[in-house]
Chain A
């Protein structure tokens, strides 16, 4: 029984370790903090493994654990939750799904502005952004957060609008 749990755990970490590390990187700029959070996530994966019944996809389940850990990590992250995103992340353009070509012109400057604006968002909005940047669909984000899909769509739309408006106003200044 224990052996099975150990093997299951190892295979989950082996297959999904990168995904979990990315979440840690979103919330911590310091390598040591990232490592601590990663370790805490793994501890929680281990603790919760017996409760995993396969009702959701393993990736959704892991995102839940990662996010729940990030939000409660040492009871501190929620206070200073700041997003750290690689400026070359291709997925940043999914925040703008219309004709506005964010990444083509003045890429560096605009990305810097976008990055700053994203860090003005609330903790939960940031959490949803991280899932979006991970490429999760609205349905999957709803599964992770625990809200309905329409609710998530409304929230994501609101976040995009907010970012767009703030970016526009920053550009005009």
Chain B
């Protein structure tokens, strides 16, 4: 096909490729640095409460729960981040749209995974604070929930607002296009 557009190559192609490579290494760095941070925090929490001579078994177990929660958060973050980063544009349009619809779905079953580290951190908080309530687990439990539940709800609402604003239009468009292709 003859077209009248010029055949100039990207005038700054090498810089562009350099930018791509930088982006790749930045992505890799995010995953590589985030995980050691979470792991360090996990070890730190575990150790701090293990060596707290005034603390009882509750503190030690609580520290371990914190640590497990952080490790699980790190692993889940890694999984989600990889899924987001590794979108393959080289697949057929139908496949691309189908995966976009799944990716931008507001409530995804995999999000339930987050509940597991949250429960560990919750349990950790209860065990660590129980000493302040003279061993009254019930009081420690309710106090922790009063803090944790509003914080989680706040995070959930913010997440939903962002998803509604950014992801819903993309999902609606992908649904529309897929419907059109398959009609």
Interface of B is mostly: helix
**Cα A22 to Cα B91 with chains together (Å):** 20
B22: shortest Cβ distance to chain A, in Å?
12
Residues of A bordering B, CB below 8 Å: 2, 6, 9-10, 13-14, 17-18, 21-22, 25, 39, 42-48, 51-52, 61, 64-65, 67-69, 71-72, 75, 78-79, 86, 88-91, 122-124, 127, 133-135, 143-147
Residue from B4, B7, B24, B88 having most chain A Cβ neighbours under 10 A: B88
When the two chains form the complex, which single residue of A13, A21, A46, A68 contacts B13, counting CB atoms closer than 8 Å?
A13
Which residues of B come within 8 Å of A, CB atoms?
Answer: 1-5, 7, 9-10, 13, 16-17, 20-21, 23-24, 86-97, 100, 169-170, 173-174, 176-177, 180-181
The contact of B89 among A69, A79, A145, by CB within 8 Å, is: A69
A-B contact count (CB 8 A): 109
**Do the beta carbons of A72 and B170 come within 8 Å of each other?**
yes
Q: Closest Cβ of chain A: how far from B56's Cβ, in Å? A: 52
Contacts of A134 in B (CB 8 A): 1
Contact of A135 among B1, B3, B17, B174 (CB under 8 A): B1
Check B177–A71 contact: CB distance below 8 A. yes
Report the bound CA distance from A52 to B91 in whole Å: 9
